[in-house]
Amino acid sequence: MTISKQDFPANFIFGVATSSYQIEGATREDGRGDSIWDTFCREQGRVSDGTSGDVACDHYHLWESDLDLIKAMGVDAYRFSVAWPRVQPDGKGAINPKGLDFYERLVDGMLERGLKPYLTLYHWDLPQTLQDDGGWVNRETAYRFAEYARVVAERLGERVASYATLNEPWCSSILSYQIGEHAPGLRDRKLALAAAHHLLLGHGEAVAAMRSVVPASDLGIVLNLQPAYPASQAPEDVAAARFADGTFNRWFMDPIFRAEYPQDIWDAYGADVPQVQDGDLVRIAQPIDFLGVNYYSRSVNGASGNVKPDESSYTHMGWEVYPQGLTDLLVRLNEDYTLPPMFITENGAAYPDELQGEGVHDTERVEYFKAHLGAVAQAVKQGVNMGGYFAWSLMDNFEWAWGYSRRFGLIYVDYDSQRRVWKDSARWYRDLLQPVAVAQ
């Protein structure tokens, strides 16, 4: 399969992505407050290898050479996130100037290198003091988030081409308050649905707060969406897929793009539904400039649970490799909603990489990227308005509940020496993006 830059629109943005807690380290430096992930990592049994983001890729100190690496890959843009507790250690009140200074240096460093900054305001590192007051279950957190968003926008301004409010609110609500795999590690559906509503409200409030501060910047949100297929055409399986789509995708898409929750799921949730105040949904649904889509895999749903097709291949996360799902998802979103341009803000795969001499021969990851970029090109061909694609991730990093045991990077990180080593996938991406088209 051959894929080239010519398969995408002329102004299509290619980039790489990371997030603050996964790469920065320096968790106690320059006045940063604790986040819920600092707390979570200290609790026994939460992270499979018992690690934390205390050091991670030490990007807080190595940011300049990391930006050089990104530049050397030939991408247009870098998607990163701001750690709220660096900027506002308690999540309310006093601002920590040293925190803002760091992100200003980083953004200016990108601009000096001709890289477009794509900033995410919330990639899961909630200040612990806000969690002590209930976290996202507390409606107040939505207003605190908007306040923090305004502070960041006032400082960095329109130097930042694109601001995303939230990364994957499904993860920071359902996975964190209902399934318990992410911080704060609770297991209560009612709390999770309150959290989801307040995350969405926080998104709306933040967009409203930032609009007049950075009128020329694009404002949007990043969702993790997963197309849900039925295991067979049996009515029970079709219903299971519809339910999975509703809880995972429509529960977030419908409020943002239709100012309503999906009725079928609302009914199914019964007494667990969130308290929605007058005006909330209009606030949540105000116009945005882009939708970020994070795509890794699909789900296959049977009446008695999810199914793993035997003939498929799986990544080190156990996630099925299914590029067709990305085309299907984008085409379907484009049909069912009236949308601004979409960006793939994350797509990638973990494999158990091994350093071999001076390289890492991650053939499977290269194939994964080729197939998924091909899937995006297919959607473009079918008329979907796509603005760009960000590979997850620039480099191996702290993979949340999996610690350092799962590697998603284009660049390999030796955590003993902090040495960065180009994997074959990084070289492949660089070659794809070369100004002169080369035969693959």
**Rounded least distance, CB 77 to ligand PNW, Å:** 17
**Residue with Cβ nearer ligand PNW (15 or 150):** 15
Task: List the catalytic residue out of 346, 354, 364, 367.
Answer: 346
Q: Is the peptide bond before 184 cis (omega within 30 degrees of 0)?
A: yes
Q: Which stretch binds ligand PNW (CB under 6 A): 45-53, 168-176, 270-278, 354-362?
A: 168-176
* Residues contacting residue 270 through CB under 8 Å, at least 6 positions apart: none
Task: List the catalytic residue out of 24, 168, 205, 320.
Answer: 168
Active site residue 364: no
**Rounded least distance, CB 254 to ligand PNW, Å:** 20
Rounded to an integer, what distance in angstroms lies between the CA atom of residue 160 and that of residue 81? Answer: 12
Residue 422 annotated in ligand binding:
no
**Rounded least distance, CB 125 to ligand PNW, Å:** 11
Question: Judging by DSSP bridges, how do beta strands 228-230 and 162-167 pair with one another?
Answer: unpaired
Binder of ligand PNW out of 290, 392, 404, 412 (CB under 6 A): 392
Site for ligand PNW in 262-321 (CB under 6 A): 294
**Rounded least distance, CB 206 to ligand PNW, Å:** 18
* Residues contacting residue 318 through CB under 8 Å, at least 6 positions apart: none
**Rounded least distance, CB 408 to ligand PNW, Å:** 6
Residue 167 annotated in ligand binding:
yes
Find residue 219's DSSP bridge partners: 163
DSSP 81-134: E--HHHHSTTSSS---HHHHHHHHHHHHHHHHTTPEEEEEEESS--BHHHHHTT
Binder of ligand PNW out of 8, 19, 163, 198 (CB under 6 A): 19
Three-state secondary-structure class, residue 46: coil
**Residue with Cβ nearer ligand PNW (70 or 213):** 70
**Rounded least distance, CB 432 to ligand PNW, Å:** 22
Find residue 220's DSSP bridge partners: 164, 290
Binder of ligand PNW out of 35, 52, 165, 224 (CB under 6 A): 224
Residue 138 annotated in ligand binding:
no
Residue (of 416, 432, 411) closest to 359 by Cα position: 411
DSSP 166: E
> Residue with structure tokens 């943002």?
256
**Residue with Cβ nearer ligand PNW (96 or 162):** 162
Phi, psi of 122 (to 5 degrees): -135, 100
**Rounded least distance, CB 175 to ligand PNW, Å:** 6
Residue 96 annotated in ligand binding:
no
* Residues contacting residue 383 through CB under 8 Å, at least 6 positions apart: 334
**Residue with Cβ nearer ligand PNW (34 or 399):** 399
> Residue with structure tokens 């990163």?
80
**Residue with Cβ nearer ligand PNW (86 or 182):** 182
Rounded to an integer, what distance in angstroms lies between the CA atom of residue 295 and that of residue 95? Answer: 34
Neighbours of 264 (CB within 10 A): 14
- The amino acid that residue 309 corresponds to is P
Judge residue 146's burial from the number of C-beta atoms within 10 Å of its C-beta, 0-12 exposed, 13-18 middle, 19 or more buried.
buried
Binder of ligand PNW out of 245, 280, 346, 362 (CB under 6 A): 346
**Residue with Cβ nearer ligand PNW (318 or 383):** 318
Q: Which stretch binds ligand PNW (CB under 6 A): 46-54, 102-110, 163-171, 202-210?
A: 163-171
CA angle 11, 291, 217 (to 5 degrees): 65
Q: Binding string, 96-115, against ligand PNW, x = CB under 6 A?
A: --------------------
Residue 392 annotated in ligand binding:
yes
**Residue with Cβ nearer ligand PNW (262 or 348):** 348
CA-based R_g, the chain, Å: 21
Instruction: Work out whether 399 is an interface residue with ligand PNW (CB under 6 A).
Output: yes
Active site residue 168: yes
Residues serving a catalytic function are: 168, 346
Residues that bind ligand PNW (CB under 6 A): 19, 22, 167-168, 171, 175, 224, 294, 346, 392, 399, 408
Annotated binding site: 22, 123, 167, 296, 392, 399-400
